[in-house]
A and B are shown apart, each in its own frame.
Chain A
Amino acid sequence: MSADVGRSAIPSAESASPGRAVRRQAIAIPVGGGKGGVGKTFLVANLATALARAGYRVVAADADLEGANLHTCVGVPDPGPSLADFVARRSTDIRELLVDTPIPNLRILAATHGSFGAPQPGQAERVRLMRQLRELDADFVLVDLGAGTHPAVVDYFMIGEAGIVVITPEPTSIENAYSFLRAAFYHRLELAMLSHHVREVVALAMDERNERGIRTPLDLLREVRALDPEEGARFVETMRAFRPRLVVNEARTAEDVKLGFSVRSVCRKFFGIEAEYLGYVNHDEAARRSVRSRRPVVESNPGSDAAIYLERVARKLVAGLGRADPPAEGSS
């Protein structure tokens, strides 16, 4: 099936979404991971570029007002308009804030801001932002999340069903990734549950040291089922719909490559969550150099090891979304 060569093997925009004239929502892909420095921005910049190079219209949005640097990774030193204008209400329409990049088909919503005292978006603003992002006239909207598991970060993970969690082969990254997944899932659950009483239990479970001994979603499910079987059914539904995708970055050894399968197994066994192992990106000096030259490695050095892996991740992502995105009209 993938007998084509190299990057051209990402299904082109034309073949994957015929009849683009019909208005539809962009596919939003949040990219998080809990820990800082695992390569979220690197991944967003490169996946967005790979998709843009395949002919998709892509927007990469930086949701990290604290550590905005996506613009730098795609070669836009000074983006001008940014998410900060939206938060400060200088603009209410994010379409006005998109900036072109040197890469055809790729625009960004930067998160640079001039003043350090700039406010963080509140929950209502985040909801408004996410709605506008989904409604952008684009095929894909990738959202680069900040570090941590604060609601202000985790909220963005709900913008699409198939968010990506980036991990590196380090205990700190893995630990934070589990916390992130747990927080993201519970957050989603809280919104899905209707009964006030059940929501209280979910809120309680969000504290990892809760006195009820609820440590994992599976423990919580038992509690919820006992309280209210109907909510239990909704719980399972939410669980099934939540299918995070894993990417291992900075892989050096075969053990590192297998880590994705292991984390998937832990998600399955302890969380009851089906994660998909999207792929891995190896440790490559070319990647480091690309960051320094402020150009995505898939564009500046497409023959490099890292670029080949990134292209593969992009391909798998598109293939998976082709199946997992029923509302898109061009279900090929």
Chain B
Amino acid sequence: MKPLFEQDHYEVLEVPRDTGPDGIERAYRLILSTYGEDSLATYSMVRGADSAAIRERVETAYRVLSDAESRRSYDSSLGGGRPSPDVEFDETPEIAMEPPKTSSEPFDDLDEAGDYDGARLRRARLRRGLDLDEIARRTKVSSNYLACLEDERFADLPPRVYVRGFVMAFAACLGLDAVSVAESYMRRYDAERPRQRRRFSRGT
């Protein structure tokens, strides 16, 4: 257990020394949000100058480790290549922090069966630590529509063909199999949509 300012760059970012560039990037973002200006996790623990100093320390670690060249020379300066026995970071950032991969491998969604409904899409998104705005940025589908998909507010969505496209984009962004998710989701849509429309027209 070392105080922050005695930690090496890997310890600062809380990653094992064999972490790949993606992992470094992810850890950096997480740590940065943890020690950011208006972070919920630190406001009562760390104040003003302290938190600026921590961010500075994190930035340095990231600068060194994100560049292959500088990382190599830093690694050799550490020597041994083994983390000091004082640190036992046995877990790498977990599944929940897994960014969407390009493959269609469905992470640990395996523990759920049944249709992809809105709630399940939301669970899959949250598990990856992604906000709707982030998904919107990547898919170019408005976060408003994405929220409608999650809440299954079908009446607020554009025509069916668009909805299907939105679901495909959403699913792909989460690293899910877009076609089967869309198929599953649209089954619910088709069953539910006429009912929502009736409700809608009766209500107005």
- Which chain A residues have a beta carbon within 8 Å of chain B's beta carbons? 2-6, 9, 169-171, 174-175, 178, 218, 221, 236, 239, 251, 253-255, 257-259, 261-263, 265-266, 268-270, 272, 274, 277, 280, 282, 305, 308-309, 312, 315
- Give the distance to chain B from A43, nearest Cβ to Cβ, in Å: 18
Evaluate contact between B34 and A9: CB separation under 8 angstroms.
Answer: no
The 5 closest A-B pairs by CB, nearest first: A262-B41, A272-B1, A262-B34, A175-B44, A254-B131
B112 to A254, Cβ gap below 8 A?
no
Please state if B30 and A6 are interface contacts (CB–CB under 8 Å). no
- B-side interface mostly: loop
Is B125 at the interface (CB under 8 A from chain A)? yes
B43 smallest CB distance to A (angstroms): 6
Residue of B nearest to A270 (CB): B45
Of the candidates A4, A6, A174, the one having the most CB atoms from chain B within 10 angstroms of its own CB is A174
Q: Which residue of chain A has its CB nearest to the CB of B90?
A: A274
Cβ–Cβ < 8 Å partners of B44 in chain A: 171, 174-175, 178
Interfacial chain B residues near A253, Cβ < 8 Å: 126, 131
Asked if A259 and B113 make an inter-chain contact with CB atoms under 8 angstroms apart, the answer reads no
Residue B67 CB within 8 A of the other chain: no
B3 touches which of A218, A236, A277, A308 (Cβ 8 Å) = A218
State how many angstroms separate the Cβ of B42 from the closest Cβ of chain A.
6
From residue A232, how far is it (CB to closest CB) to chain B in Å?
A: 11
Take A254-B131, A265-B14, A274-B88 as given contacts and tell me if A259 and B111 are in contact as well, using a CB distance cutoff of 8 Å: no
Task: Decide if B53 is an interface residue (CB 8 Å cutoff).
Answer: no
B111 and A174 form a contact (CB under 8 A): no
Secondary structure at chain A's binding surface: helix, strand, loop or mixed? helix
**In the complex the two chains form, what is the Cα distance from A266 to B36 in whole Å?**
12
Q: With A174-B44, A261-B30, A268-B14 given, is the CB distance from A2 to B110 under 8 Å?
A: yes
Determine whether the beta carbon of B123 is less than 8 Å from that of A308.
yes
Contact call A269/B41, Cβ cutoff below 8 A: no
A257 to B96, CA, bound (A): 8
- Residues from chain B with Cβ under 8 Å of A305 in the complex: 119, 122-123
Q: Tell me, in angstroms, the Cα distance from A292 to B109 when the chains sit together.
A: 30
Chain A residues positioned under 8 Å from B125 (CB to CB): 254
Q: How far is the CA of A270 from the CA of B96 in the complex (A)?
A: 24
Contact of B42 among A6, A236, A261, A262 (CB under 8 A): A262
Beyond A171-B44, A269-B4, 15 additional contacts (C-beta under 8 Å) are A5-B113, A9-B111, A171-B40, A174-B44, A218-B1, A253-B126, A254-B128, A254-B130, A255-B40, A257-B126, A257-B127, A262-B30, A266-B41, A266-B42, A268-B14
Could you tell me the distance between the alpha carbons of A251 and B113 in the complex, rounded to whole angstroms?
Answer: 23
Is there an interface contact between A259 and B1, defined as CB atoms closer than 8 Å? no
B113, chain A: closest CB distance, angstroms? 4
A282 CA / B127 CA spacing, docked (Å): 11
- Residues of chain B lying within 8 A (CB to CB) of residue A236: 1
Q: Verify B111–A2 contact, CB threshold 8 A.
A: yes
Q: Which residues of B contact A255 (CB under 8 A)?
A: 33, 40, 131
Q: With A and B bound together, what is the CA distance between A9 and B112 in angstroms?
A: 10
Question: B150 to nearest A CB, angstroms?
Answer: 10
Cβ of B94 < 8 Å from any Cβ of A?
yes
Q: Which of B110, B111, B130 is the one whose CB lies under 8 Å from A312?
A: B111
Question: Min CB distance, B47 to chain A, in Å?
Answer: 11
Partner of A259, one of B31, B41, B88, B119: B41
Does B18 belong to the interface (CB within 8 Å)?
Answer: no
What is the minimal beta-carbon distance from A89 to any residue of chain B, in angstroms?
Answer: 41
Alpha-carbon distance between A262 and B129 when the two chains are bound, in angstroms? 12
Segment 37-73 of B: residues with Cβ below 8 Å from A: 39-46
